[in-house]
Structure formats: structure tokens, C-alpha cells
A and B are shown apart, each in its own frame.
Chain A
């Protein structure tokens, strides 16, 4: 039986040895880091801005019911259809029905992690619809039939040569080493789709409660086009995306861009408040906003970790995480990877099956420091470990600790254990890391310090 934990260990073990992969990720993240630091330096006070962002999100999440009601009512008053889906199946069925009712064949889609979360593309393709990812990175990983590697940089694990080979194979384009030329190949392939697609699907970055608006952040303009030309538009978003007021964006747009990509502000930040209105020249005649719970309310019910719902999906915690830098995005086997993924996945998909992610952390706290909304990520990893152990205690682990405590509380037993250690030291050394070693899984990558020939107590006695 292959569990998520076993698959994680297996994948992590092989990819950490892949120096080419590591080099690629570290080059990309170095570029990110220098850009981010330059942008942070332009702030008068980054730390105070973080605190303000944390407080604003706290207000949003801790009054989530009021904000969602206002958001939905405002949208509906302007002709938008708002749907509330408890889980992925409900959302998938609903979206499929909307597309079917629209009589559509081709769907053009901009980036949406919530769509990855509910495996929307697979479901729609199974029903015979063509779904085209329009974000360049997403387009590339879709052609490779793999999930995005990173929530902000979906194709950061690929070189231009790999992308050129992929385009040559899938699109029949001429090989090139120029990123610009590769981008233009994708541009040409997708241009026709915007004009001909019947339905456009987008994600969302913020839901503005007070005015009933959806805010979408992007650099390429693909979401703008997706929301402009198809006659039906569908927007899928998690219920936690709420911000109380439109003016809050004056803080959140620079924070998201700085933490997420080292930009002062992202290229396009677009507020949608309805389908095409009277007197307007274009835009979809029908707009469906799909609010997704999918166990977010269970995370909400945990006051200790509720702030994990403050997450704005900037990816900053992934970019600074020593684990992510070594094992990469695909190893996690989750929609949301890195520290925030390790925190929320156990809530979204089951603690016992995903507790290993909370264990694969050095608890260095780099994630907590990087988070623009100050989510207490590394403490949450620790709390997940505690919750997993108290929910399902490991008998072996408990016995080990009990034995340890017993030894440590008895001077004579401690002395005896010490003597044994000294006697068996040559044997231990000879078998370290071999099949005879009882703690082999630990010692294959680590070395135990040798037992000292003279204990401190003996040494001290001689000195005196």
C-alpha cells in the first residue's frame, strides 16, 4: 500500500539527490529574493504594513459570515449569479452544468488554485469539454500533463530547452532558446482561443465585501481577456478570500506583489462587479461566482490555526523554505505545497494521512517571517504534530519515552546504560547504517557521535 507519507519520502529521497533540479530552483529563487528585497526596501515600514494586513484579514475572517452575505447580496443585485458549494464534487457538477447550459465546447481558463484543488480540468475534460489554460506557466504544465510546481510560478522547474522541446512536440513549433520567442509561440496558440471560446473560467485573489467585487491579480493579461470575450464567465473562489473594503486593496495589492514576485504591484489588478451592464460595449452576458467551502469551515472552527485562512496565496513561504528548496513542489503531492500547504492540507484532507508534512520541517521559522499577513506558520506545524500524536498516539513512541524517563530518573540505571554504551560502542560503530542497525533509517543520512571513553563525571572526579 502506498500512503501519501511513503510517496512523499520516496519522491523527496530521489529529488534531493538531483543537483540539476536544485540548481534550477535556487537560481530562480535567488532572482526572486533580490527583487523582493529591493521592493521591501521601498516601503517606509514593511513590518507595520504586515501587522496592518494581518489585522485586516483577522477582521475579515472573524466576521466572515457578515462579509460573505454583503459580498453575495451586492453581486446578485447587479445580475451576477452567486453559488455556494460545500465541497469539490458540488462545485464540479455545478460548473459542468453551467458550461453545458451555455452550449459550450471550448473553455478558456486563467489561473485558479481552487480549480486545481477540486480537479476541475480533469472532470471537465472527462465530460468532453476542451479546457485551455491561458497563463503561460499553467499552459506549459498543462501540455506536460502535470500539476503546477508552485502556486505562483507553475513552471519554475523547467528550462527553456525543455519548454522548447515540449512546444515542438505538442504544438509543432520550431526549436528556440529565446524565452521571448517561446512566449510568442504560446501567445499565438492562445489568441484564437480567447476569441472563439464560449466560456471563461477565472480564479480570484480578493472578494471585496462592501462593494461586492472580485479582484483578480495577474501579469500577462490572460485573465483580462478571459473575462472580456467569452459570453459566459465563471469565477471560482474559496470563501476565505474576503477583504472588508475596496480601499484595503491599497495595502494588499502592494503586499501581494512584493511578497509574491518582488514587484511593486502586479501588472493587472482588476475588479469585477457584475456581468456586462447596460451601456457597456462588451463583457460576458452571464457571470457565475462560485464560492467554495471544501472544509475551510473546519479550519475556521480551529481558533488556534484560524489565521491560516488569512493566506493570500503569495507563495512567499514556499520561496524561503529550506524543505521546499530541496524537495520541490511536486513532492508534496498536494495542491498547496510548502509551509502553508503543510499547515492547511491536514485540515482539508485529513490529519493522519497528511501529518508527515508537518514533520518535514526544520521549524526554522523562515516561513512565519516571510508571510505578509503574519500567519504563525511554524507554530501551526508544531500544533499539527501535537494534534496528530494526541489523536492517534504511537505506542512505540510512548514506550520509548517512558523507558527514557525511567532511565533518566534512576542514577544507577543511567550508570549501567552508560557502561553498556561504552562496551557496545565498537559493535555499534561497525554496524552503523547496515541492516543490523536498529535505527538504520536515521543513521543512513546521519552519524551518531561516539560514546565518550571517559564520562564527564569521571573526568571531573579525576581533575579534583
Chain B
């Protein structure tokens, strides 16, 4: 028997005696045997109901924008809702000159192609591979995202279509370019969108990014930029 079979055999042996269902502990029901684990799945999936008990994401697009903006402020994400592509170019160019960017990294996508070249700053793309030393020296990483979540102020990047694993986390400033229709209400919606986008063949990494990198490991005092980006900017139009 190999390790897999050995451990699975131990698990199957252990599960021969059923365990009480949650909630039946400590209320004098210790002796009542629980229903035996069924062969198939349990029909009711509690998590599908749980959505209604979680913090809300907003029902209308306006409400969702409001929640995303509030969550961003709380997280110290720099969120800008812009009128159009031209406004996004102007905004990004303003940030670039304010921070004195000399070198940036991005990836090929409709949104980045529309905005990044106009900056006139030397930029490299991560598509097809790159030298980590070069990426580490870049002042900013500019990416797109799959979906944004109003409930938590989260945005989702992946390793296949938004620049790879490191682009959104190695440079000190991560800038995300997004369209309004990429914003959804809550995490349940977000996972549904992720499944629609990638369910046929998963990228090797899907990351839910919520705010810039942070730590509270020293006296529980919040510090931004522990290892990942010190700044996170979201430009949406």
C-alpha cells in the first residue's frame, strides 16, 4: 500500500462511526446518534443560504460603487472613478509624474494597451516571461483584473490574463485598470464571474487582492507595504 491508500484507508475506518451534526453538542443530545453520512452529497448547501447573512454588497450598480469606494477608503486603496479612457490616461500620467516613475511594467490587454503607451515611460511587459531582477526595479506594475467586489473592496487578478503571478505584487505600486461593468456585489457573485471566465481551464493562480500589502505584526500597528505593494490604485471608467 502506498501513502495515499494508507491514509485513505485510515480515514474510511475512522468515518465508520458517524459524528453528531453541528449544533447537537452540549445540549443533552450526546447519546442521540446522528444520521449516518450518506453516500451522495447532502442536498442542502448551507453556503448558498449564507450569502444573506454576510455583509451586503449592494443591489444596484450605484450602491455597489458606493460600497466599493467606502471599502477602498477604509483599506487605503486609492480608488478613482473616471469619465472615460482619456480621463484615465490623464489620471495615470498625473500619478506617474507625481511619483517620478522611470520604469514601469505591464502586460498586453485591451485596457493596458489603450492607456499605458500614452505615458511615454519605458515599460516592459511580462508576457512570455521576464527577468525578476528587472521587474523588481520597476516603479509600478500596471495590470487589468477579472472582477471587483463591492462587499469587500477586493479585486481579482490571475496568472494567465492579468500579467502573471509577480507583476501585481513585486513592484512597490500596483495600478489596476478596470471597467465599471467588472464590479459585482459580493464574493458569491465574484466566484460566479471567476467560474464563467476560467471554469474551462483554470489559470494556475487566482488572487483576491484587498488593499495594499499590510502587516500588524509589530504591536498590532498597521503598516502598509510589508512585502508587496505599498500603494494600490484602482482606475475605473
Which A residues fall within an 8 A CB radius of B?
Answer: 27-28, 31-32, 42-46, 48-49, 51-59, 61-65, 68-69, 72, 78, 82-86, 90, 134-137, 140, 153-156, 158-160, 163, 179-180, 182-184, 186-187, 190-191, 194-195, 211, 213, 219-222, 224-225, 227-229, 239, 244-251, 253-254, 261, 264-277, 279-283, 291, 293, 297-298, 300-301, 303-304, 306-307, 368, 374, 376, 379
Contacts and interface: CB of A to CB of B under 8 A. Distances in A.
Given A56-B47, A179-B218, A282-B159, A65 B53 contact: no
B164 A250 contact: no
A221 B160 contact: no
A375 B128 CA distance: 47
B52 to A, nearest CB: 6
A85 B51 contact: no
Given A155-B217, A159-B219, A225-B227, A250 B209 contact: no
Given A213-B202, A247-B47, A307-B22, A239 B152 contact: no
B19 A306 contact: yes
Contacts of A303: 17-20
A339 to B, nearest CB: 14
Chain A to chain B: the 7 pairs with minimum beta-carbon distance, closest first: A221-B228, A54-B22, A84-B3, A220-B226, A228-B165, A301-B14, A137-B217
A247 B188 contact: yes
Nearest to A306: B19
A64 B208 CA distance: 26
B44 to A, nearest CB: 8
Given A54-B22, A179-B221, A270-B205, 17 more contacts: A27-B219, A43-B55, A44-B56, A51-B22, A53-B50, A58-B19, A64-B15, A65-B8, A78-B202, A135-B217, A154-B217, A160-B218, A221-B169, A228-B170, A265-B154, A269-B207, A280-B160
A182 to B, nearest CB: 6
Given A62-B15, A225-B169, A280 B203 contact: yes
Contact of B215 (A68, A195, A219): A219
B23 to A, nearest CB: 7
Interface residues of B, number: 94
Contact of A273 (B71, B204, B221): B204
A59 B18 CA distance: 12
Nearest to A82: B4
Contact of B53 (A52, A61, A83): A52
B109 interface: no
Nearest to B223: A183
Contacts of A239: 7, 11
B87 to A, nearest CB: 28
A183 B18 contact: no
B209 A49 contact: no
A195 B22 contact: no
Given A58-B19, A68-B11, A154-B217, A43 B225 contact: no
Interface in B194-237: 194-195, 202-221, 223, 225-229
Contacts of B138: none
A282 B165 contact: yes
A53 B22 CA distance: 10
A301 B8 contact: no
A224 B166 CA distance: 7
A205 to B, nearest CB: 12
A245 B47 contact: yes
A154 B220 CA distance: 11
A247 B130 contact: no
A90 B3 contact: yes
Interface in B147-164: 151-154, 159-160, 163-164
Contact of B223 (A156, A179, A298, A300): A179
B205 A219 contact: no
A48 B25 contact: no
Nearest to B18: A303
B164 A44 contact: no
A275 B133 CA distance: 21
Contacts of B214: 219-220, 267
Contacts of B212: 267
B223 A56 contact: no
A368 B205 CA distance: 35
B80 interface: no
Given A272-B205, A303-B20, A52 B223 contact: no
Nearest to B107: A281
Nearest to A67: B11
A225 B166 contact: yes
Given A31-B220, A225-B227, A265-B152, A271 B205 contact: yes
A52 B215 CA distance: 30
A277 B203 contact: yes
A270 B207 contact: yes
A282 B15 contact: no
Contacts of B17: 301, 303
7 contacts: A56-B47, A221-B228, A225-B227, A253-B187, A266-B210, A268-B228, A280-B203
Nearest to A54: B22
A28 B217 CA distance: 10
A275 B226 CA distance: 25
Interface centre among A56, A247, A249 (most CB of B within 10 A): A247
A19 B52 CA distance: 44
A182 B21 contact: no
Interface in B1-57: 2-4, 6-8, 10-15, 17-23, 25-26, 30, 37, 41-42, 45-56
